[in-house]
Amino acid sequence: MVHNGIVENADELRAKLIAEGAEFVSDTDSEVLAHLIARAGGCLPGHGGTAGGGVPAHAGSPEPAGAAEQAGGARSAAKAGRANGAVTVSEAGIDLEEAVRQALTSVVGTYGIAVLDARYPDRVVAARNGSPVVLGIGDKEMFVASDVAALVRYTRQVVHLDDGEVATVRADGFHTSTLDARTTTHEPSLIEADLRSYTADGYTHFMRKEIHEQPRTVERALRGRLEERFHTAHLGGLNIDAREARAIRRVKILGCGSAFYAGQVGAQLIEELARIPADAEAASEFRYRNPVVEPDALYIAVSQSGETHDTLAAVRELKRKGGRVIGVVNAVGSAIARECEGGVYLHAGPEISVTSTKTFTATCVVFSLIALHLGRIHDLSPADGTRVIGGLHALPGQIAQILAEEERIVELAKDFTGYQGMFFVGRVRGWPIAREGAQKLKEVSYLHAEAYPASELKHGPLALVGPDLPTVAVVPDDELRDKNISTLGEIKARRGRILAVGHGTLDTRLADDMVEVPKNEPELDPILLSVPLQLLAYHAAVTLGNDVDKPRNLAKSVTVE
C-alpha cells in the first residue's frame, strides 16, 4: 500500500489491532491502514505474527500463474508472508475493493492510497480523502498517482478522484464508487501542459527555470482576457453577471503561504480599482475561527495546487454557510477548482519547485484582471481601464528586463548569506511584496527572514536593527515614497545595511545597495517588485548549497491539517 496523508486515530487503531494479534514493523500511521485492509480482506494474524507487516497472502493462489507474474513486488511480498507461516486467510475473504472500503470506515484523517493484494494481481484499488489521487488512462494500461506530473510521460487523459471515492483500476479500465458503494461517473479530462514543463530544460533548478518563465507565464494569464474595446477584462469562468457584480459589498480572499500573500496583493488591487472593501486572510486561520459569512460578499480561494487542505476546508466551510466562493487556481481539475462555483485558472503550467514563483506572479496578474473587471462594472473610468490594460501589456517585457539583471543579484545574494537573518519592509502596496520576499528567503535559504510593514518598524522591531541585521526595503515610486525614505533614514541612523528594491536611484546615504525595476502603473508595480526578491532567495539558497527545489520540511501541496 502507498499512503499520502495522516491517519489521526492511528494510535487507537494500532492498539486495537495489536490486541487482536497484529504485529507492527514500523511506527507509521500508514502501516495501520495496511493492517486494517488486510484484516478486512480476511488476512487474519496467525500465531507466529506477521514478519511481512501484515502483507496479505493466500494459500492457494486463485489467479492464473501469468497474472501472478505481473504482480511483481506484490507477489514476492506474498511469498515472504507464506514462508513465515505468518498469516492465515479466511476462505471467505472479501474482494479487495470491499476490504478497502470497510477498513476506511474506521479511519479518521486524510489519505490518498493505492493498494495491491497479491491475491488480485490484476488490480489496484485507490481511495481519496483529502490527499489527491489521479487515475491515468492509457492504451490498455492504467495508472494511479498523487499528481498529474507523475502521469504526463505516459498519458494525457486523467480522472481526479473526489474525496470519499474508491476506485478499482485494471489494465483495461476503471470503476469508481463512493465509500458506501454507490457507483460514480467521471469524464476524463486532458492534461494540457507539454512534457518540457516537467523537465528542468537545461536549468540547474526548477526554481530558476520557473522564475525565468515568468514573461511567458504572464502572457498566458492575460491571453484572450483583455477586452480593449470596453477597457476591461473578460473572465468567462467567473459566473457572475454584471448585476450580481454590482451587488458585491465586500471581497474576502483566502489562501495559504504565497497564495495568501498574492491574495493580499489582489485585495489591494480590488480596493484600488473597484473601490470594493477587500482583504486577504490565511485560509488556515479562517477555517478555525467560525467566520461570519456575509451574503453580499464574494469569497475567493487562491491555490496553486488546488489541493491545499486548509484552503479546501475554508471553501467547504463557506459553502456550508451559504457563501459565494470562486477559485483562483493553477491546477486544472483540482479539488478546490471543482468545489468552487466558478473562477479563473492561472494557466501558468506545472510548477515543480516547492516554492512558488511564477504562480505567485500569475496570481497577481489574474487579480489585476478580476479587479479591472469588477472596477469597470463599479466605477473605474474607461481611461483608467485603458491605463491598466497598457500596464498589463508591458509586464512581460519588463519582467524580462529584470531577469536580464540577474548577475547583479547573484553578487548581492552571496553577500547577504553572511548574515544570520534579514528584515523585509514595505508599505501598503509594498507590504505583501515584503512578506512574499521574506517567505521566499525563509523557504529556500533557511535564513531567518521577517517581514514588517515599514510603518510598524518604529513600534517595536527597530530595537533589533543594527549593523548585524540587514534590511530589504521595497520602495516603489508612488505617493508613499517620502514616507518610505524616512523609514530608510531610521534604519540608517542605527547603522543597518539596506538593500532597496524600487524605482530610480536612491542616495547612497539612504541605501547601501539598490536594485532598480522598470516602472509600471502604481497598482501593478508590486508584481515587478517581487521578481528581484525571488532571485535573491534563489541565489542565497544556491550559495548555501541547499536543495533549492525541495526545501527541508516543506511539501508542494500540503494536503494535511
Residues that bind ligand G6P (CB under 6 A): 256-259, 303-305, 308, 311, 354-356, 554, 557-558
Return the C-alpha cell found at 357. Answer: 514563483
Q: Which is nearer to ligand G6P, 120 or 424 (CB)?
A: 424
Report the nearest approach of ligand G6P to the CB of residue 245 (Å).
25
Say which residues have a Cβ less than 8 Å from residue 299's Cβ, sequence separation at least 6.
251, 252, 253, 254, 293, 318, 323, 324, 325, 326
Report the nearest approach of ligand G6P to the CB of residue 362 (Å).
11
Phi, psi torsion values for 34, nearest 5 degrees: -60, -45
Report the nearest approach of ligand G6P to the CB of residue 198 (Å).
17
R_g over Cα of the chain: 27
Say which residues have a Cβ less than 8 Å from residue 476's Cβ, sequence separation at least 6.
429, 430, 502, 503, 522, 525, 526, 529
Report the nearest approach of ligand G6P to the CB of residue 193 (Å).
16
Report the nearest approach of ligand G6P to the CB of residue 561 (Å).
13
Report the nearest approach of ligand G6P to the CB of residue 266 (Å).
13
The whole-angstrom separation of Cα 10 and Cα 5 is 12
Q: What is the 3-state secondary structure (H, E, C) of 302-329?
A: EECCCCCHHHHHHHHHHHHCCCEEEEEE
Q: Which is nearer to ligand G6P, 226 or 434 (CB)?
A: 434
Report the nearest approach of ligand G6P to the CB of residue 310 (Å).
8
Q: Which is nearer to ligand G6P, 327 or 375 (CB)?
A: 327
Q: Which is nearer to ligand G6P, 263 or 391 (CB)?
A: 263
Q: Tell me which amino acid residue 170 is.
A: R
Report the nearest approach of ligand G6P to the CB of residue 44 (Å).
41
Return the C-alpha cell found at 503. Answer: 524605482
| Cβ(194)–Cβ(168) below 8 Å | no
The whole-angstrom separation of Cα 381 and Cα 160 is 42
Distance of CA 300 to the CA centre of its chain: 15
Phi, psi torsion values for 189, nearest 5 degrees: -110, 160
Q: Which is nearer to ligand G6P, 174 or 367 (CB)?
A: 367
Q: Which is nearer to ligand G6P, 110 or 308 (CB)?
A: 308
Residue number closest to ligand G6P, CB atom = 257
Return the C-alpha cell found at 481. Answer: 515614497
Q: Which is nearer to ligand G6P, 484 or 557 (CB)?
A: 557
Q: Which residue has the cell 517588485?
A: 529
- DSSP class of residue 469 equals B
Report the nearest approach of ligand G6P to the CB of residue 268 (Å).
19
Q: Which is nearer to ligand G6P, 142 or 336 (CB)?
A: 336
Return the C-alpha cell found at 237. Answer: 469562468
Neighbour-count burial for 399-430, b at 16+ CB within 10 Å, e otherwise: bbebbeebeebbebbebbeeeebbbbbbbbbb
Q: Which is nearer to ligand G6P, 213 or 478 (CB)?
A: 213
